[in-house]
A = this chain, B = another copy of it.
Amino acid sequence: MPVLTGVSFRLAPGEGLVLRGANGIGKTTLLRTVAGLQPPLSGTIEGAGERAGYASHADGIKPALTVAETLQFWADLYRAELPEDVFELFDLADLRDRSAGTLSAGQGRRLGLARLAVIGREVLLLDEPTVSLDAFSVKRFASFLRERHLARGGIAVIATHIDLGLDLPTLDLTPYRAAHDAAGGSDEAFL
């Protein structure tokens, strides 16, 4: 069943885009599609795929691993080096050897975001990255995005309900909401 139609954007290196729209408009769906986790009903996605790193509502944190082990694992899996400063960057230095299961909601979120700095992907797809973060951590994350990621030629697509303080172009998805007679979807054949 189509959720959004006619959405189209193209980002050059160093550019970011903020997705906005009411609950249930289809931000998560769009990000997952761009990440290649579900096929689009129609249209094409170019250039993402192998270059994209996706951060979902859930953080994929294993309670049994420590913070340091978690980040090391993702670095290994993506065949990247673990950057020295990632613990400072996401304010995790004190929590380095804490098992991830005992983190508070916001601390866990910071760990989930730190993963993105570790895997070294150029295209970051962020689904409400600042949920549960306090104001200070939000600022910190915004400056990470601006100075570390975008400044180095990365691309970011961010779905969010709150203002991150980044001056990025905003795409409001409301006008693209699929009309009732929109084509597409596996059930289409039965109409």
Contact = CB atoms under 8 A, between A and B. Distances in A.
Interface in A102-153: 103-107, 109-110, 128, 131-137
A134 B135 CA distance: 18
Contacts of A136: 22
Contacts of A105: 23, 28, 57, 128
> How many copies of this chain does one complex carry?
2
A94 to B, nearest CB: 9
A105 B161 CA distance: 12
**Dominant secondary structure at the A interface:** loop
A129 B15 CA distance: 32
A23 B106 contact: yes
Contacts of A24: 103-104, 106-107
A189 interface: no
Contacts of A135: 161
B137 A104 contact: no
B134 A23 contact: yes
Contact of A161 (B22, B103, B128, B134): B134
A110 to B, nearest CB: 7
A12 interface: no
Interface string A10-28: 0000000000011110001
25 contacts: A21-B134, A22-B106, A22-B134, A22-B136, A22-B137, A23-B104, A23-B105, A23-B106, A23-B107, A23-B132, A23-B133, A23-B134, A23-B137, A24-B106, A28-B104, A28-B105, A57-B105, A57-B132, A105-B128, A106-B161, A131-B132, A132-B161, A133-B161, A135-B161, A162-B162
The 6 closest A-B pairs by CB, nearest first: A23-B106, A24-B104, A22-B134, A23-B134, A134-B161, A57-B105
